Chains A and B, each alone.
Chain A
Amino acid sequence: MPATNVSKAEREQSHSQPSRVFDLAEHSLRELNQALHKLAPGSNETAWEVLHPRGSHSVAVGVDQPVSIDVRGSVGYYCGGMNDGAAITVHGSAGPGVGENMMSGQIVIKGDASQYAGATGKGGLLVIEGNASSRCGISMKGIDIVVHGNIGHMSAFMAQSGNLVVLGDAGDALGDSIYEARLFVRGKVESLGADCIAKEMRPEHIELLQGLLDRAGATGVKASEFKRYGSARKLYNFNIDNADAY
């Protein structure tokens, strides 16, 4: 395919280490993921480029080596799921469940992300440069998520730990039944979910947030412009007097 050849030539000029190009118009998704899973520690194949993803599901799931993967186009469900160390950049938008259960590493989505981005993630950094839709960071367990745009309803539902940073607005029921995750929202919050409350921004929060903004390339905003939300810790254990709030 001519487009592939052009980008390959360009890349070889601009990188000292040529990346391995995988064209999903010519090879199957399974071939791609198996090749990524076969990477041994210390492999020289540290830069990968995936062409023509065309909304494919499960692109680059379960990678456990610190390689960089550039996906040129939009992906479907579960891109980068279970990622453990790779730096994945999607030059397009992502379907539902991007970075689900990420352990470590980094995923950057240049466009928008669909439902439950970063769900159950245990570690690493997920950056969404556009908007994320509903249930962003649902049940997050240590992942850091930075969304440059807005997030949809029921985000950070039952979020356990980690940080969710939103430069734009948040939809209904933010942080419903939240545990110890920290939520930082710069814009408007449509409504807070059960047991989620606004909290004081102390110096340590400003410092933490500034670090996350820097890592996520979020320039032109100040940590002091955000509000912090977290758990009122009233629903941790079942109490019959709280029955209406569950």
Chain B
Amino acid sequence: MCGIVGLFLKDKALEPKLGAMLSEMLVSLSDRGPDSAGIAIYGATTGNEAKITIQSAKPDRDFRGLDAELAKAIGAPVSIAVKSTHAVIRSTPDKVDAAREALQTLRPDVRIMGAGEAVEIYKEVGLPEAVVERFDVRAMTGTHGIGHTRMATESAVTTMGAHPFSTGADQCLVHNGSLSNHNNVRRELIRDGMKFETENDTEVAAAYLSNRMAHGKNLGEALEGTLSDLDGFFTFVVGTKNGFGVVRDPIACKPAVMAETDQYVAFGSEYRALTKLPGIDNARVWEPEPATVYFWEH
């Protein structure tokens, strides 16, 4: 099963409510996957700030004093905002790679959830309500976001096996389905320089898109490539710094429904996820076609 949601706002007036809206959507699909849940929120960008979302099983030990140590290591100012097992590190965009490298030495047990100018990613084992509560997602503002509640099939139930998966700056992906050629595709991507943290099939799909976009494709073209290069069942919902995309495999047995109004574009595994959105009764509601790429950009 698994449940996935996505929300791309067109109306700036809704931005303060993005976290609350996306949380409601995800919680409504809790019975599609009780193992773990995650959410990625794209916030406002300033152009001179980048964020790295990190996670630790021992946040008290790992996050204490990290800002000062990291600032010293990379030679730039660093701030850190702790939220339960996660923390968001802020520094200048040109220092992201240096900070990631320094983290490996300073805090080898810390896992990187994602990085970029806009995205923050929170994911943990547990039900959506618990995850949303733990990270106070309802209070978050932003332009777009995606979420996932997991019923695991392809790899272990761990924080790192939870979605969204992020494999490039401000890029992340959630997946309902299972891929059958992920080992081969992973090997090809590793040969092309991509790095992997897990044995998970979905991480391969995320890395595939990051790799194609790194080779100059836009989001739509990268999504188009999944139809010929990835084998298996999938409905993907993808976020980039300013974009939001959806694609389903040609068999399209993984459910999907979308809604669009002047204020937003929304995706849910089921209509239940969309019922509390403003103006839903008059929204254009449709089932995305198989093997068809949908994407929107700000």
Contacts and interface: CB of A to CB of B under 8 A. Distances in A.
A76 B272 contact: yes
Interface string A148-184: 0000110000000000000000000000000000000
B255 interface: yes
Contacts of A96: 255
Contacts of A76: 270-272
A115 B253 CA distance: 8
Interface string B234-278: 000000000000000000110101000000000000111111000
B287 interface: yes
A93 B286 CA distance: 10
A95 B272 CA distance: 10
Contacts of B253: 115, 134
A153 B287 contact: no
A90 to B, nearest CB: 12
Interface in B4-52: none
Contacts of B230: none
Interface residues of B, number: 15
A152 B252 CA distance: 10
A55 B255 contact: no
A56 B272 CA distance: 7
B270 A93 contact: no
B290 A95 contact: no
A112 interface: yes
B270 A55 contact: yes
B290 A153 contact: yes
A114 B270 CA distance: 10
B285 A55 contact: no
Contacts of A134: 252-253, 290
B28 to A, nearest CB: 8
Contacts of B255: 95-96, 114-115
A152 B270 contact: no
A74 B271 contact: yes
Chain A interface size band reads 10 to 19
B290 A152 contact: yes
Contacts of A114: 255, 257, 287
B283 to A, nearest CB: 11
Nearest to B271: A55
Contacts of A77: 270
Contacts of A152: 252, 289-290
B285 A95 contact: no
A68 interface: no
A202 B136 CA distance: 66
Nearest to B288: A133
A110 B273 CA distance: 21
Interface in A78-115: 93, 95-96, 112, 114-115
A134 B256 CA distance: 12
Contact of A55 (B252, B272, B290): B272
A56 B290 CA distance: 24
Nearest to A52: B275
A138 to B, nearest CB: 11
B113 to A, nearest CB: 30
A95 B270 contact: yes
Nearest to B276: A54
Interface in A120-151: 133-134
Contact of B271 (A95, A115, A133, A153): A95
Contacts of A55: 270-275
B291 to A, nearest CB: 9
A133 B288 CA distance: 10
A112 B290 contact: no
Contacts of B287: 112, 114, 133
Contacts of B285: 74, 93, 112
B278 to A, nearest CB: 15
Interface string A43-62: 00000000000111000000
Nearest to A116: B253
Contacts of B286: 112
A30 to B, nearest CB: 14
A149 to B, nearest CB: 12
A20 B249 CA distance: 43
Contacts of B289: 152
12 contacts: A55-B270, A55-B272, A55-B273, A55-B274, A74-B271, A74-B285, A76-B270, A76-B271, A112-B286, A112-B287, A115-B255, A152-B252
Closest 3 CB pairs of A and B: A55-B272, A55-B271, A54-B275
Interface of A: 54-56, 74-77, 93, 95-96, 112, 114-115, 133-134, 152-153
Given A74-B271, A75-B271, 12 more contacts: A54-B272, A55-B270, A56-B272, A77-B270, A93-B285, A96-B255, A112-B286, A114-B255, A114-B287, A115-B252, A152-B289, A153-B252
